[in-house]
Amino acid sequence: MIPTETLAAVREQFPVTARQLYLDSAHQTPLSLSVRDALAAFLSEGYEMAGPKTLWLRRVEETRATVAGFFNAAPSEIAFTKNTSEGLNIAANAVPLKAGDNVVLIEGDHPNNAYAWLNLKRNGVEVRFVPLRDDEIATAQTFEPYIDERTRVITLSHVTFHAGQVHDLMSIGKLCKERGIYLVVDAMQSVGVIPLDVKALNISVLAAGTHKGLLVPQGLGVLYIADGLDELQPAYLAMSSMANPPADYVARPDDLAVRKDALRFEFGNVNLPDVHALSAAIRLIESVGVPDIQNHVMELGDLLLAHLDRLGVAVVGPRERGQRNHIYVLKLPVEQWAAFFARNDVRVSPERGGIRISVAMFNNVEDIERLVDVIRTGLENDLPRQAGR
């Protein structure tokens, strides 16, 4: 667990913890005081200093470098986007795919990843879906039967939103490296909660929004593009994409060379307020440390699973450490239980298999105990234990 004093300081950063039982960070994390203050400071600079853009842009680069550290990447490998979906669509349109090539995904993974690649079917690209049970994790062996000499991309979420599986990126990345396949990862549910080393995992492209484990309001995403993948080209161009942007702001039709770094995928101004917020959020995360956050949420999960076993409540996803992390979907009928949790001021999400509980750095043992008491009360009041019962 996060040390008691550190956890108390973290909880003070999130006033929502004093107002409700918040177990919905897989949907979005609540605003922390430091993130709020960073946003307020940005606005103050805007109206007091008429927008010091040079200063703001310097901070963007400082934040870019800090984000790169999260992934063991270089700052040149990080671009800012609007969200995960934009990053995945950038990847789908950047990879040099031809008619007859194929892309392999997990059936039932996040639809915004699937749609990014399904959109390429109009160009003759085949999209293959690999079936996977909710209590299984994907490994290299999962994908091997579905790949061939025309497979160009394997893409998946690191952590699934609907069952909480933590897929084995290490073996999948090794397979991709051996076969010359691009590995494109949706890290929306893992960044800031699970340590990520893009080099060790052989990830080609990684996309993530910042409104979950990175604690920032919606509207900002990060995109990692491995150095050396110069064949990945942007579908759109802006002055910021160009290797030789014209100083006089007059486009040169005879010079369309793009940058060699990830910034070739960054179009125009980024979300400056959220970038400032992200800098503050990362300082808060690093005050604890991502490995300690991961261990903390897994220990809370151990406690939750033990209580659920005693109550006879099943979970949808895997139970083994390493195969699950901070997301737990309880096999409780959504229609009755979602309303019951809301009446008891417990913030959770309905999910395709039941009720999703997601814990974060600011949750503690007392939160789990309170949740269990609410579930016990619901069962005692004859709410169904699972669909059809």
- Name every residue whose Cβ is closer than 8 Å to that of residue 173 and which is 6 or more positions away in sequence: 183, 200, 201, 202, 203
What is the mean predicted confidence (pLDDT) over 271-289? 96
pLDDT of residue 311: 96
Residue 100 has pLDDT above 50, yes or no: yes
Of the chain, the percentage scoring pLDDT greater than 70 comes to: 99
Of the chain, the percentage scoring pLDDT greater than 90 comes to: 94
pLDDT of residue 2: 87
Tell me the C-alpha distance between 9 and 118, whole Å.
Answer: 45
What is the mean predicted confidence (pLDDT) over 253-262? 96
Helix, strand or coil for residue 139? coil
pLDDT of residue 11: 97
Tell me the C-alpha distance between 190 and 222, whole Å.
Answer: 13
Confidence of residue 382 (pLDDT cuts 50, 70, 90): confident
Residue 387 has pLDDT above 60, yes or no: no
- pLDDT tens by residue, 35-82: 999 999 999 999 898 889 899 999 999 999 999 998 999 999 999 999
pLDDT of residue 50: 87
Confidence of residue 265 (pLDDT cuts 50, 70, 90): very high
What is the mean predicted confidence (pLDDT) over 172-200? 98
pLDDT of residue 385: 82
- pLDDT tens by residue, 364-380: 999 999 999 999 999 99
Structure tokens at 39: 């946003």
Structure tokens at 94: 């950047």
For 107-241, list the strands marked E by DSSP: 126-130, 151-157, 182-186, 205-209, 221-225
Is 166 within 8 Å of 196 (Cβ atoms)? no
What is the mean predicted confidence (pLDDT) over 335-358? 95
- pLDDT tens by residue, 284-341: 999 999 999 999 999 999 999 999 999 999 999 999 999 999 999 999 999 999 999 9
What is the mean predicted confidence (pLDDT) over 331-357? 95
Q: Which domains does the chain have, with CATH numbers?
A: 4-30+289-380 (3.90.1150.10), 35-285 (3.40.640.10)
pLDDT of residue 191: 97
Task: Supply the DSSP symbol for 294.
Answer: H
Confidence of residue 389 (pLDDT cuts 50, 70, 90): very low
Residue 255 has pLDDT above 50, yes or no: yes
Pseudo-torsion of CA 187, 153, 268, 79, nearest 10°? 40
pLDDT of residue 388: 42
Phi, psi of 261 (to 5 degrees): -100, 180
What is the mean predicted confidence (pLDDT) over 166-174? 98
**Phi-psi sector, 228: left (phi>0), alpha (psi -120 to 50), beta:** left
Burial class (CB in 10 A: 0-12, 13-18, 19+), 236: exposed
| Cα dihedral across residues 108, 92, 137, 214: positive or negative | negative
